[in-house]
Amino acid sequence: MLDNKSRINLIGYSRQELKAEITKLGEKDFRTKQLWHWMYHKGETDFNKMSSLGKSLRKKLDSSYVILRPKIVTEQLSKDTTHKWLFRTEDNNEIETVFIPEEDRGALCLSSQVGCTLTCSFCHTGTQKLVRNLSAAEIIGQMMVVRDAYGEWPSNGHDRKLTNIVMMGMGEPLYNFEQVAKALKIIMDEEGISISRRRITLSTSGVVPLIERCGEELGVGLAVSLHAVRDELRDILVPINKKYPIKVLLKACRKYPGSSNARRITFEYVMLNGINDSASDAKELARLLEGIPAKINLIPFNKWPGVEYECSSHHTIKQFSEILNERGLSAPIRMPRGRDIMAACGQLKSESQAIRKYSERDKLNISVTN
């Protein structure tokens, strides 16, 4: 049995990088396309089953490379079918991925970082101390596991449930632009996983300098975590606002490449009781967004242990939505999904500490019984 550690994991390799490996092995270019197809279209992880590659190449690949999936620590299924995975990375960090299936479609919420360097006051992920960027392999790996779990590779022949991707898990995707872009380009490649940019949305707290590049290079849908209409409040809720205040952020949104009435920018607005949910906040929001092809997503606040904010009442959220509707803005209320397994927006946080404590206690028990 070959040891995985001494072999190179090919997941996350771009076409150019795969081609370089194929050339190193003394093989012709067309093998790159074949290997790509096996890895990303068929989801095959065993080189020996890649029948079109020829025996000698299969052998060479198997001795130096490997196609890995991230290690699953736990998997939880909500009463409402939302599915959450906790993965452990090679360096013992943990990340979470959430899949939200619906009748004939489903959105996969991918993480871009371990934790998040930003400290939005209402977000659980922002309270996590440990932070690092995920690699393209770790971002794509999350998706591969979900496709495996739902049997979404072509050999299974039935309709796909995993139709949409949202970069709305742990982390700020525009603080890890290079790896996120690399992963999304692989996901969008028509000869591989082939999810169209129209079905991908990237959510940012407002990293203004990278918004334009995101539109130009990736062309994916943009979601902006606005959450407040005045700088004094947004400075507290979304502290990156001190660097890029509302006016500067909205200017970048106005210029977002590829946005149009058919492809609106989503403005996310978390509903916090007595903080940002008044009628005048709603009116000001409509005023601020004038001239931007926009839609608003009203997110009922999801609580997490230790947080002091409360979610606005249903009545208040409805009123807020109506004020926006009257001003020509679509503002649906997002149904919270997976709250019972802490999988809803902003609830993700690595459980590493809890798990570590648990295993230490476990060890103790073992030594006692011994």
Stretch that binds ligand SF4, among 1-9, 22-30, 119-127, 282-290 (CB under 6 A): 119-127
Residue from 82, 97, 164, 205 touching ligand SAH (CB under 6 A): that is: 205
- What kind and span of H or E run contains 132? strand 132-133
SS3 228: coil
For ligand SF4 (CB under 6 A), the number of binding residues is: 12
How far is the C-alpha of 137 from the C-alpha of 13, rounded, in Å?
A: 7
Partner interacting with residue 135 (select from ligand SAH, ligand SF4, none; CB below 5-8 Å by kind): none
**From 96, 138, 152, 172, active-site residue:** 96
Stretch that binds ligand SAH, among 35-43, 52-60, 76-84, 197-205 (CB under 6 A): 197-205
- In the bound state with ligand SAH, the residue whose beta carbon lies nearer, of 135 and 241, is 241
**Of 87, 205, 202, 63, the residue nearest 142 (C-alpha):** 87
- Torsion sign across C-alpha atoms 316, 320, 321, 323: positive
Long-range contacts of residues 342-346, Cβ cutoff 8 Å, at least 24 apart: 342/84, 342/124, 342/304, 343/76, 343/78, 343/82, 343/83, 343/84, 343/96, 343/98, 344/302, 345/168, 345/270, 345/299, 345/302, 346/120, 346/122, 346/123, 346/124, 346/125, 346/270, 346/301, 346/302, 346/304
When asked if residue 120 is in the footprint of ligand SF4 (CB under 6 A), the reply is: yes
- In the bound state with ligand SAH, the residue whose beta carbon lies nearer, of 126 and 192, is 126
When asked if residue 118 is in the footprint of ligand SF4 (CB under 6 A), the reply is: yes
Partner interacting with residue 145 (select from ligand SF4, ligand SAH, none; CB below 5-8 Å by kind): none
Provide, rounded to whole angstroms, the least separation between the CB of residue 231 and ligand SF4: 16
Residue from 93, 205, 297, 350 touching ligand SF4 (CB under 6 A): that is: 205
Stretch that binds ligand SF4, among 49-57, 122-130, 132-140, 317-325 (CB under 6 A): 122-130
Residues lying near ligand SF4 in the complex (CB under 6 A) are found at 116, 118-120, 123, 125-126, 171-172, 205, 225, 346
Active-site residue list: 96, 345
